[in-house]
C-alpha cells in the first residue's frame, strides 16, 4: 500500500491540487497524487449546515498552495490521515475547529489544543455551535447510510 510508505516519513512538502471538502484534500508531490484526510477534525458533510463554509475556509487557507504534511495514519479508505500546515505555519484542523467549522476528533495522537479551540468556539457560538440542533458528521453519515440502504 502506497500510504504505508509515506507514514514512515516525519514530514514532507506538497502542493494542494484540490480541496475535496472541509476535511479532505488532494495533494501532489512530484509525480505522486494522494488524497489526504485532515487529522484531529471532522467537518460537516455535504448536505449539512456549514459544510460549504468549511470547504471554502479550507480552500481559502490552502487551495493551490504548498503545505507541510505530517502523516499520522491511514484510514479505511486508504487515505493518509495527516496534520496539514499552511506555508506560514498554521494548522488547518486547529483553524477549522477554532472557527466553528469542524468538530474536534480526539485520537491516538491527542491534540488538547484543538479540544480547547473547540470549547472556545462552542462558548462563543461560532459556526456549527450557533445551532443547538446540529449533529456531528459521524452521526449524519450513519443516518444517511440507514436511509439509503
Question: pLDDT tens digit string along 55-75?
Answer: 999 999 999 999 999 999 988
Cell of 78: 486508504
Check residue 45 and give its pLDDT: 95
Check residue 143 and give its pLDDT: 86
The answer, yes or no, to whether residue 79 has pLDDT greater than 60, is yes
Check residue 91 and give its pLDDT: 98
Check residue 9 and give its pLDDT: 61
Provide the mean pLDDT of the chain: 90
72 in Cβ contact with 82 (< 8 Å): yes
Check residue 5 and give its pLDDT: 54
pLDDT digits 0-9 by tens, 3-47: 455 545 689 999 999 999 999 999 999 999 999 999 999 999 999
Closest residue by Cα to residue 3 from 35, 49, 27: 35
Check residue 146 and give its pLDDT: 56
**Cα separation of 137 and 63, whole Å?**
23
Burial class (CB in 10 A: 0-12, 13-18, 19+), 25: buried
Closest residue by Cα to residue 120 from 94, 89, 139: 94
**Cα separation of 142 and 145, whole Å?**
5
pLDDT digits 0-9 by tens, 113-137: 999 999 999 999 999 999 888 899 9
Measured CA to CA in angstroms, residue 81 lies from 96, 107, 124, 147 at distances of 16, 11, 29, 28
113 in Cβ contact with 94 (< 8 Å): yes
The answer, yes or no, to whether residue 107 has pLDDT greater than 90, is no
Residue 141 host element (H or E) = helix 137-148
Check residue 77 and give its pLDDT: 84
Determine how β-strand 32-38 pairs with β-strand 80-86.
parallel
Amino acid at each position: 500500500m502506497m500510504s504505508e510508505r509515506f507514514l514512515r516519513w516525519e514530514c514532507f512538502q506538497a502542493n494542494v491540487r484540490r480541496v475535496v471538502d472541509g476535511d479532505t484534500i488532494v495533494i501532489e508531490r512530484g509525480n505522486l497524487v494522494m488524497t489526504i484526510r485532515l487529522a484531529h477534525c471532522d467537518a460537516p458533510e455535504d448536505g449539512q449546515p456549514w459544510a460549504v463554509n468549511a470547504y471554502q475556509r479550507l480552500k481559502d487557507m490552502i487551495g493551490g498552495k504548498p503545505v507541510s504534511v505530517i502523516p499520522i495514519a491511514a484510514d479505511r479508505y486508504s487515505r493518509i490521515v495527516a496534520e496539514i500546515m499552511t506555508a506560514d505555519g498554521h494548522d488547518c484542523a486547529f483553524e477549522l475547529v477554532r472557527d466553528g467549522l469542524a468538530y474536534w476528533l480526539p485520537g491516538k495522537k491527542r491534540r488538547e489544543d484543538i479540544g480547547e479551540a473547540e470549547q472556545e468556539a462552542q462558548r462563543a457560538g461560532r459556526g456549527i455551535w450557533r445551532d443547538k440542533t446540529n449533529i456531528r458528521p459521524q452521526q449524519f453519515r450513519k443516518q444517511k447510510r440507514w436511509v439509503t440502504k
